[in-house]
Amino acid sequence: MSEYQGGPDHRHRRPHGVDDKTVEALGALSKALETTERARGHLYAFHQLTGGADLELDRAVRLLREAGHPEWADKVETEILGRNVIPGHWTFQVLEAYNDTYYRPFQELERSVVAELAQGRDHLYEAELKEARRTPGHPDHTLLPPGAES
């Protein structure tokens, strides 16, 4: 992409003096943060699935007792029910540590870089890619959503 001064709207228009490498770097940083968002979602799924499995163990313990296997019910109850997923941590603590140690600092740094290098304008790389790939005049390749102003 060359020095680009067009764009769909002011929010996504490259500020004057921002070069191609900077736009590309901001795009890579944004993509990395988006991937981190997906990883965080998987952690929430891990949290919910593990919690759901732990709650289902109550039923398994009850059914083992009802089926006449109290020794196995006791073993499941004492060995697995409520067990830490890693030493000293339940899944909510893993999430909290991830958010505090990695996710929020990454998110804050990305915001700071965009504010400093692109006047806070997000998705410059993607906006320019959209402009380069759209077919002017085609009803499904419009610059803006209906009713939006540039």
* 108 three-class SS: helix
Looking at the structure of the chain, the number of domains it has is 1
Over residues 118-145, the pLDDT tens digits come to 999 999 999 889 888 988 888 888 877 7
Q: Is residue 31 part of a domain?
A: yes
Q: Is residue 92 part of a domain?
A: yes
Q: Is residue 24 part of a domain?
A: yes
Q: What is the DSSP string of 15-80?
A: PTT--HHHHHHHHHHHHHHHHHHHHHHHHHHHHHHHHHHHHHHHHHHHHHHHTT-HHHHHHHHHHT
Q: Is residue 141 part of a domain?
A: no
Q: Is residue 58 part of a domain?
A: yes
What pTM, to 2 d.p., does this model score? 0.82
Q: Is residue 5 part of a domain?
A: no
Query: What average pLDDT does this structure show over 75-103?
Result: 97
Q: Is residue 91 part of a domain?
A: yes
Q: Can you say whether the dihedral through the CA atoms of 32, 36, 41, 43 is positive or negative? A: positive
> Which residues constitute the domain of residue 40?
10-130
Q: Which pair of structure tokens corresponds to residue 7?
A: 């764009």
Q: Is residue 54 part of a domain?
A: yes
Residue 24 and residue 31 in contact, taking contact as beta carbons nearer than 8 Å: no
